[in-house]
Amino acid sequence: MEDKAQIQEAIKSQGEVVRKLKSEKASKEQIDEEVAKLLELKARLGGDEGKHQFVLKTAKGTRDYNPKQMAIRERVFNTIISSFKRHGAETIDTPVFELKETLTGKYGEDSKLIYDLKDQGGELLSLRYDLTVPFARYLAMNKITNIKRYHIAKVYRRDNPAMTRGRYREFYQCDFDIAGQYDAMIPDAECLKIVHEILNELDLGDFCIKVNDRRILDGMFAVCGVPDNKFRTICSTVDKLDKMPWDEVKKEMVEEKGLSEEAADQIGEYVSMQGGRDLAERLLQDQKMSQSKQACAGLSDIKLLFSYLELFQVTDKVVFDLSLARGLDYYTGVIYEAVLTQAGVTLASAEAENGAPAEERVSVGSVAGGGRYDGLVGMFDPKGRRVPCVGVSIGIERIFSIMEQKAEASAEKVRTTEVQVLVASAQKNLLEERLKLISELWEAGIKAELMYKKNPKLLSQLQYCEESGIPLVAILGEQELKDGVVKLRMVATREEADISRADLIDEIRRRTPQA
Amino acid sequence: MEDKAQIQEAIKSQGEVVRKLKSEKASKEQIDEEVAKLLELKARLGGDEGKHQFVLKTAKGTRDYNPKQMAIRERVFNTIISSFKRHGAETIDTPVFELKETLTGKYGEDSKLIYDLKDQGGELLSLRYDLTVPFARYLAMNKITNIKRYHIAKVYRRDNPAMTRGRYREFYQCDFDIAGQYDAMIPDAECLKIVHEILNELDLGDFCIKVNDRRILDGMFAVCGVPDNKFRTICSTVDKLDKMPWDEVKKEMVEEKGLSEEAADQIGEYVSMQGGRDLAERLLQDQKMSQSKQACAGLSDIKLLFSYLELFQVTDKVVFDLSLARGLDYYTGVIYEAVLTQAGVTLASAEAENGAPAEERVSVGSVAGGGRYDGLVGMFDPKGRRVPCVGVSIGIERIFSIMEQKAEASAEKVRTTEVQVLVASAQKNLLEERLKLISELWEAGIKAELMYKKNPKLLSQLQYCEESGIPLVAILGEQELKDGVVKLRMVATREEADISRADLIDEIRRRTPQA
């Protein structure tokens, strides 16, 4: 038994913590967490203090989706899936957990963020961290050498959640990948075309797709005099350029990572370069850069890529940016990342209210990213057979956050059902007649509801339609039954018309065209 | 370091195990498992034996879905979701894991099947075991007293998998529930109507929906002389009647659970009864049964339920069956379960080949189940406020298995993409022209592919269409480009026509009507 007085003391001081946070207008998240601790303490007081007190919350960094959020999510998914299907992608699914060793050695430092399952006897399992590694495992396991597939599913990272910015521990990824030995840059160009299509169609405001190549980065490091064994760590410092000014990045390179000032300055010159096909051409002539075979291979591919992107008419949004690095270990060629150039601002202001630290506020919204990873499948193949892959992942949570804010801000009401008609009665004792009619409507494929009351008031039935956006009411009364008609009421205009039972279904269809 | 000789010895004997299983034609599952063990051993030999050997498999009891399976899955989901939407349901989503204590005390003995996450610091988490408990947590947490929602998501049970029968450790549930204080049996009848609709539309062969009520079971136990504290355990024995003959069930009641033979015989009489509204009426007059208030309440509700089901015209498939018990602790009123009366046979024969034990082969396929659970939400509410609920869960994995076998058996080819046209070239050096054309088609919303080769052969392009079921090929050649036309080829008939570039999009749409 625990010491009750001690727990009661703890409850008191935890209560103070909660009150303080509330008075300081701390973030909901923070308050919820402390309230949870408080409830837990109260629960420990046990039975004689009343009912057991459940901690009523979802796990840290996760959330439920309510019907309104689901309606928005469905819309976003439909746009994305349409684009994937337009490009001829099949879809696959993999389990939410993998053997632990499948994920081992794929994520570098981020491996510490993987969720493991408890050892309950049997295999050691981990929740998937992304969809790319399971995809590579799937290809190797089934000896598939050619596929174009999409996969939309949740992935799990024990990261520090920042939910107001759309960063969760459980979140969706929407991945499109092309696996196979093909001619250079054709599938890569299609991936960028898809990002362009999706971001356009989602109407999130202006965006920009940055493109670079791992080989250009490595070549650049080599010609700038970075020692071979420091490529990865210097690369991860370059990756911070979207959040930190050059001065600080340079400082990290020199002071923390021990790079010479001269090398850092040379890198600094390159990573400030942005352009298109012309920049790739110029760098191919660059005295220093052209010394690296790797860099030249990358630059030639960027040139080719841009020529295809011109045919796809997407070069307006694509920038060759030498500062783009991307963290993941497995990329081997082209890499890219799409950022919103307006919406980042919207999200940032929402979070400023919740007291997010200032440095987070300025970060721009990356909403898609990807690249070429030609070596990953080979890591799973017993004989090391390579299956070249290129893909893109749409960062859906941030997009949801923006769409939700848009919906909130707009006057338009988000409907959470597609119900066309409410079957209602004007008098008592007509439940049986309502059930009979609604059954006919369902049979005909009409989306219809009735109130689950024997004798609902007409007014409350009409109110229900107003609230939930149902456009039509089919009203039954003694007179209508005698006449073999139904009174059809248009909720928006309050207009009513008697429709014969035989015509009712057509009339409902005519008045509520379905997508 | 491990002793190499010892591992090599283990590899040898494990090799024997695999060979033996193969020669005995054991199930694929069983063989895969032993092969995995073998690979694991080999991997332990380490680096100098060549590349590290990954165990290339999914976790026990789980599977990937390939594109063909996904196409079937999508079709099944669309049917189910259409029905849910037709009945005006919203949808929600909850995280894949919950706080461990949220699941505690909800599943009785089955709790041992819950997957726990490893304690990596922070909260103790478990994977959801069903969608009902997270739904109740969601209602209580958000103080929702009225909702009609569906939820389609994966749930997790550390059960003994029987994958050929569609029993997995990771599997989908499709739940539809109505929460709210309503007049008796109206929402309950709608749930049964939905099961009837879905099973009809999926066209799985004949089926039967068994209905009973927890209160009738409890009342029956009481009047048959079962001691109060044995209700649950006797109930779980009754639940075995669909898999065991009455003799064995009785034996378990008397010998294992210590029930008197007389009581068991009385139960035996009742649980053999099946009927409709008439049976409920007869039992209301039954001398013994009518002594139980609880039983009478249940019987009256069954009577009322049948009167609504008659109006819904579904009584042809619904049977009031006093042997239906259902395992879960949380049911409080009406319970039901749908079984396929033909398809069970199909599945059984598939699994007979794989050497499943005989007793498993006879079990009939339950494909949907549910009932009323008026107390569950109150378990989460700090003040114990009740939100009455009734719902149904469609057991989708078994349905998938049947649909897959059907697809396999039929000549019809399952397409895994919806591509309308392949953009092809008849000569070399036309990649740019293909890219330009396909970009125009995508822009117009046409689903189109091209081969990722600079100069693919026309024949291989045509073959690709045959294999993947693409109905049209838009062929570009020097002549076509000069004439401003595209040669449109119908893959099935090999018919070809020159179409002007201006008319191409309309022509493709006309020839490939989309759903």
Task: Indicate the residue type of B98.
Answer: E
Distance of CA A204 to the CA centre of its chain: 14
How high is the pLDDT of residue A406?
A: 85
Instruction: Read off the amino acid at residue A166.
Output: G
Q: Taking 70 as the threshold, does the pLDDT of residue B509 lie above it?
A: yes
Output the DSSP codes for B209-254.
Answer: EEEEEHHHHHHHHHHTT--GGGHHHHHHHHGGGGTS-HHHHHHIII
Query: What was the pLDDT predicted at B54?
Result: 63
Q: Would you say B91 and A67 are in contact if contact means Cβ atoms under 8 Å apart?
A: yes
B240 or B152: which leads in pLDDT: B152
Q: How many CB atoms lie within 10 A of CB A289?
A: 22
Candidates A64, A52, A89, A283; CA nearest to A191 is A89
Which among A19-33, A158-172, A409-423, B13-27 has the top mean pLDDT? A409-423
Which one of A57, A64, A312 has the shortest CB-CB distance to B439?
Answer: A312
Residue B274 has pLDDT above 60, yes or no: yes
Closest CA to A346 of A328, A361, A366: A361
**Mean pLDDT, range A145-162, rounded to an integer:** 93
In degrees rounded to 5, what are phi and psi of residue B456? -75, 150
Which band of pLDDT confidence, cut at 50, 70 and 90, is reported for residue B154? very high
- Residue A337: φ, ψ to 5°: -155, 135
Neighbours of B108 (CB within 10 A): 13
Given a cut of 70, is residue B361 above it in pLDDT? no
| pLDDT tens track for A9-32 | 778 788 888 888 877 777 777 787
Average pLDDT estimate for A147-151:
98
- Indicate the residue of A62, A93, A449 with minimum beta-carbon distance to B70: A93
Å between B267 CA and nearest CA of chain A: 35
pLDDT, residue B355, reads 45
- Say what the pLDDT of residue A37 is: 77
Closest CA relative to residue B325, chosen from B240, B392, B221, B250: B240
Structure tokens at A357: 């630290």
Q: What pLDDT, on a 0 to 100 scale, did the predictor assign at position B350?
A: 45
Please report, as a single letter, which amino acid is at residue B145. Answer: T
> Given the structure tokens 């990329």, which residue do they identify?
A331
Strands of the sheet containing B448-449, edge to edge, are B448-449, B421-425, B472-476, B485-490, B496-500
- Residue A90 confidence (pLDDT) above 60: yes
Note the pLDDT tens digit of each residue in A208-222: 999 999 999 999 999
- Test mutation, B99, B155, B171, B449, chain A, max A CBs within 10 A: B99
Higher confidence at residue A398 or residue B510?
A: B510
- ipTM value for the complex: 0.84
Q: Residues of A numbered 155-174 whose beta carbons fall under 8 angstroms of chain B's beta carbons: which are they?
A: 156, 158, 170
Say what the pLDDT of residue A30 is. Answer: 79
b/e per residue B445-464 (b: at least 16 CB within 10 A): ebbbbbbbebebeeeebbeb
Q: What is the Cα–Cα distance from A216 to A203, expressed in whole angstroms?
A: 32
pLDDT at B1 exceeding the cut of 50: no
Assess B457–A contact: CB distance below 8 Å, yes or no: no
User: Which segment of A6-10, A169-173, B175-179, B196-200 scores lowest on mean pLDDT?
Assistant: A6-10
Amino acid at B495: E
What is the 8-class DSSP label of residue B31?
A: H
Provide the pLDDT confidence category of residue B286 given band limits of 50, 70 and 90.
Answer: very high
Interface residue B119 vs chain A (CB under 8 A)? yes
Residue A117: CB atoms within 10 A of its CB come to: 24
User: How far is it, in rounded angstroms, from Cα A428 to Cα A506?
Assistant: 27
CA distance A193 to chain B (A): 9
At A253-265, the pLDDT tens digits run 999 999 999 999 9
Residue B345 has pLDDT above 80, yes or no: no
Rounded mean pLDDT, B382-387: 89
Contact B122 A55 (CB under 8 A): no
Is it the case that residue A482 has pLDDT exceeding 80? Answer: yes
- If one compares A22 and B276, the residue with the highest pLDDT of the two is B276
Look-up of token digits 């200032």: A358
Sign of the CA dihedral running A90, A96, A101, A105:
positive
Residue A340: φ, ψ to 5°: -80, 135
pLDDT score at B33 = 77
Mean pLDDT of chain A: 89
pLDDT at A203 over 60: yes
> If you average pLDDT over residues A31-42, what whole number do you get?
76
A408-452 pLDDT, tens digit per residue, is: 888 778 899 999 999 999 999 999 999 999 999 999 999 999 999
Q: How many residues does chain B have?
A: 515
Of A62, A63, A88, the CB nearest to B447: A88
pLDDT for B407: 85
The reported pLDDT for the residue numbered A91 is 98
Measured between CB atoms, which of A67, A93, A308 is closest to B64? A93
CA-based nearest residue in chain A for residue B186: A452
Average pLDDT, chain B: 89
The predicted model scores a pTM of 0.85
Q: Is the pLDDT of residue B96 over 50?
A: yes
Specify the higher pLDDT residue, A410 or B217.
B217
| Predicted pLDDT at B7 | 75
A117 contacts in B (CB within 8 Å)? 115-118, 127
Helix/strand/coil for A182: coil
Pair A64, A32: CB distance under 8 Å = no
Q: What tens digit of pLDDT does each residue of A106-132 get?
A: 887 788 999 999 999 999 999 999 999
Asked if the C-beta of B448 comes within 8 angstroms of chain A's C-beta atoms, the answer is: yes
> A90 CA to chain B: closest CA distance, Å?
5
Residue of chain B minimizing CA distance to A118: B118
Nearest CA in chain A to B94: A64
Q: Is B30 exposed, middle or buried (0-12, 13-18, 19+ CB in 10 A)?
A: middle
Q: Which of B33, B34, B38, B54 to mutate to test the interface with A (most CBs of A within 10 A)?
A: B54
Taking chain B, what is the end-to-end CA distance rounded to the nearest angstrom?
A: 62
Nearest beta carbon to residue B95 from set A59, A85, A419: A59
Q: CB-based contact (8 Å) between B514 and chain A?
A: no
With CA atoms as reference, the chain B residue closest to A469 would be B88
d(CA A79, CA A202): 7
User: Which residues are CB-neighbours of B8 under 8 A, at least 6 positions away?
Assistant: B45
Q: Is the dihedral of CA A277, A280, A284, A286 positive or negative?
A: positive
Only one residue has tokens 């030609």, namely A374
Mean of the pLDDT values across residues A46-63?
71
| CA neighbours closer than 13 Å in the CB half-sphere of residue B481 | 15
% chain A with pLDDT above 90: 71
Q: Which of B347, B345, B325, B323 is nearest to B335 (CA)?
A: B325
Is residue A429 within 8 angstroms of chain B, CB to CB? no
**Sheet (strand B147-156) strand order:** B90-91, B147-156, B170-179, B389-395, B365-372, B334-340, B207-213, B318-321, B274-275
Q: Residue A350 has what pLDDT?
A: 45
Q: Which of A165-169, A193-197, A346-350, A383-387 has the highest mean pLDDT?
A: A193-197
* pLDDT bucket at B166, cuts 50 / 70 / 90: confident
Are B64 and A416 within 8 A, CB to CB? no
Query: For residue B48, what pLDDT is reported?
Result: 42
Q: Which residues contact A386 (CB under 8 A, 6 or more apart)?
A: A374, A375, A377, A378
Q: Does B411 touch chain A (CB under 8 A)?
A: no
Which pLDDT value is given to residue B53?
A: 57
The one-letter amino acid code at B13 reads S
Distance from A245 to chain B by nearest Cα, in Å?
Answer: 34
Tell me: pLDDT of B362 over 50: no
pLDDT higher than 50, residue A228: yes
CA distance A352 to chain B (A): 26
Determine the residue among B86, B119, B151 to mutate to test chain A binding: the one whose Cβ has the most chain A Cβ atoms within 10 Å: B86
Contacts of B385 in chain A (CB under 8 A): none
